Amino acid sequence: MLYLWIKAFHIVSIVCWFAGLFYLPRLFVYHAQSEDTVSKERFSVMERKLYRGIMGPAMVASLVFGIWLIALNPGIFQSGAWIHAKLTLVVLLIGYHHMCGAQVKRFARGENTRSHVFYRWFNEVPVLILLAIVILVVVKPF
């Protein structure tokens, strides 16, 4: 029963993390398009609060619950290569998360050099990673 509770909290924390991963780059799109100081400052505050207040804790919770699940079921590594592929994608997602954090800082310092078009494409990365992770976990293709 403990395993199922941890799994439930793992899923909830992942949903929260991905909500931020989807929304923060969208804020970057609007921030890159903004022209006035008031808007730029407002977006910087929103980005910082989302990154530090929601995304960071949700990522940590996702990792803690995920590691806990693996600790309770270490045999999962023998269930196929899908788990290794999934964990590789999680590492890439953590990297993407930190890239977002670096961009939050650049915007706050007024040092953004990228266009809103770049951020529209950048926003698609977590979608592709989520799609791949869900397929790996549900279908277990290998």
Annotated binding site: 10, 86
User: If 0-12 CB within 10 Å is exposed, 13-18 middle and 19+ buried, where does residue 21 land?
Assistant: buried
Provide the residue type at 94 as one letter. Answer: I
H/E stretch holding 52 reads none
Q: Which residue has the tokens 């693996």?
A: 70
Asked if 125 contacts 22 with a C-beta cutoff of 8 angstroms, the reply is no
Q: Which are the contacts of 10, defined by CB distance < 8 A and separation ≥ 6? A: 62, 65, 66, 68, 69
- Residue ranges for the known binding site for heme are 10, 86
**What's the CA angle centered on 140, arms 68 and 127, to 5 degrees?**
80
Asked if 69 contacts 7 with a C-beta cutoff of 8 angstroms, the reply is yes
